[in-house]
A and B are shown apart, each in its own frame.
Chain A
């Protein structure tokens, strides 16, 4: 019995384990499709092609690994911050089963080519309906736990959790409105530029409500728990939260600069994207200031290392993102490999490093055992950071080179390079990207081996033992 009395933690264990399984699938597929880009002969139609596997990679990563583990941590954190047992552990266990069914269905239908052709909203309507059911029961369980709380004031993590619950629901419902014409095919209810606008309002705010708010909830919870020192300013956290919520929802159209979407919509999105630096860096500064007098823990405490590197990647990400949202810069790097470099700094750097730290924090507590090997934790950390940096830096260089080639013109104004010529120049970077992916995959294997050994043969430890 490693679980703490009173809280429903068995379902937390379940979500952690399954999210890691889906995370492994996501990274494995990521490596595979990076190899397919570098060596196109590795594509075997119809199922084993980049086009079929890429959406499975993103869905397994964002929804399987990301949302699966956020579900675990929302259950874990909410119970502790409200000092209240989960409203319905039975519902949570049902949710775990449904979650796995949905992710498996998503993988199968996408592999069969059933796809709405909307990025991050690819799932056809029967699977999308199951996602809605899943999200509703999850939200009801968390919100009812918060309603019944025995702690009057809500810590900042709970605000981020509630924002994610409400935000995802609104975004998913609006963007998935469609007209089914069969069990496996539907068409969007919107058309043309409106459809694009709704799609990227959804797409970019999925970044906000899935890849920003939940990791921030975890960061604000696990940083003070790991260092043993409270966060620098709760009030600054609250202001950063509200300004983030006010500003994020306006920024989606920065994905549509230089398109037929009205100019003023693009300008509005650009302006709010720049303003978003302030709340983003509010959280970054709160994290750094919380380390005042504690920086030695970067050397002594492996959890802090993951969390501070994670928030640093978040800081870099939230400077790079607004820069890309400026018309002139966007005109240069949009539609090049710069963008996957940017996205993977967020997913592999910011989100995953915070998730790794959070799992390393709760896993020994859930199993009542000490972590099996601190050396392996450190190896995992460095492999993950090095793999991610090789991936992102190679893509940024590739993006700049491709952009420069695409914009090069002859004296008569015609294009100097064809699109295919730019592709050929990218091969060395794609090889480097695949190499970075393999290193990241290796880091995951070390992580999983360490967790399995911790659960099966780690030394028994007091429940509240600090790492």
Chain B
């Protein structure tokens, strides 16, 4: 495996790690109401 492939793989893992952080933050139980609030706020009259 050459350096370019390792770098490529590294970027891929980094992206997956970033995605995992986003999932973790989005589904954090403590923030549940806050994270769902926009769907109620957008229902206000235009």
A residues within 8 Å of B by Cβ? 4, 80-81, 151, 153-157, 221, 224-225, 228, 230-231, 233-235, 238-239, 242-243, 246, 365, 464
A233: chain B residues within 8 A (beta carbon):
36, 39
Task: Indicate whether A154 sits within 8 Å of B26 (C-beta atoms), given known contacts A243-B19, A246-B19.
Answer: no
A80: chain B residues within 8 A (beta carbon):
42, 46
In the complex, the chain A residue whose C-beta lies closest to that of B16 is: A246
Q: Are A238 and B35 in contact, CB atoms less than 8 angstroms apart?
A: yes
Q: Are B19 and A155 in contact, CB atoms less than 8 angstroms apart?
A: no
Task: Indicate whether A235 sits within 8 Å of B35 (C-beta atoms), given known contacts A242-B22, A243-B19.
Answer: yes
Q: Are B27 and A235 in contact, CB atoms less than 8 angstroms apart?
A: yes
A154: chain B residues within 8 A (beta carbon):
38
Partner of B46, one of A231, A238, A464: A464
In the complex, the chain A residue whose C-beta lies closest to that of B22 is: A242
B39: chain A residues within 8 A (beta carbon):
155-156, 224, 230-231, 233-234
| With A156-B39, A230-B42 already in contact, 20 other A-B pairs whose C-beta atoms are closer than 8 Å | A81-B42, A151-B41, A153-B41, A154-B38, A224-B42, A225-B43, A228-B43, A233-B36, A233-B39, A234-B36, A234-B37, A234-B39, A235-B32, A235-B35, A235-B36, A238-B26, A239-B22, A246-B15, A246-B19, A464-B45
In the complex, the chain A residue whose C-beta lies closest to that of B43 is: A230
Interface of B is mostly: helix
Task: Indicate whether A155 sits within 8 Å of B46 (C-beta atoms), given known contacts A235-B26, A235-B27, A238-B26.
Answer: no
B19: chain A residues within 8 A (beta carbon):
242-243, 246
B36: chain A residues within 8 A (beta carbon):
233-235
Chain B, interface size category, equals 10 to 19
A224: chain B residues within 8 A (beta carbon):
39, 42-43
Can you list 8 A-B pairs with a CB-CB distance of less than 8 A? Answer: A151-B41, A155-B41, A233-B39, A238-B22, A238-B35, A239-B26, A242-B19, A365-B46
In the complex, the chain B residue whose C-beta lies closest to that of A4 is: B46
A157: chain B residues within 8 A (beta carbon):
42
In the complex, the chain A residue whose C-beta lies closest to that of B15 is: A246
B residues within 8 Å of A by Cβ? 15, 19, 22-23, 26-27, 32, 34-43, 45-46
Task: Indicate whether A239 sits within 8 Å of B23 (C-beta atoms), given known contacts A151-B41, A224-B39, A234-B38.
Answer: yes
A239: chain B residues within 8 A (beta carbon):
22-23, 26-27
A156 to chain B, nearest CB (A): 7
State in angstroms the CA–CA spacing of A143 and B23 once bound together.
25
In the complex, the chain A residue whose C-beta lies closest to that of B37 is: A153
The residue in B37, B39, B40, B41 that gathers the most chain A C-beta atoms within 10 A of its C-beta is B39
A248 to chain B, nearest CB (A): 13
Q: Are A230 and B35 in contact, CB atoms less than 8 angstroms apart?
A: no
A243 to chain B, nearest CB (A): 7
B32: chain A residues within 8 A (beta carbon):
235
In the complex, the chain A residue whose C-beta lies closest to that of B5 is: A264
A271 to chain B, nearest CB (A): 11
B7 to chain A, nearest CB (A): 15
In the complex, the chain B residue whose C-beta lies closest to that of A228 is: B43
A155: chain B residues within 8 A (beta carbon):
38-39, 41-42
State in angstroms the CA–CA spacing of A246 and B13 once bound together.
12
In the complex, the chain B residue whose C-beta lies closest to that of A230 is: B39
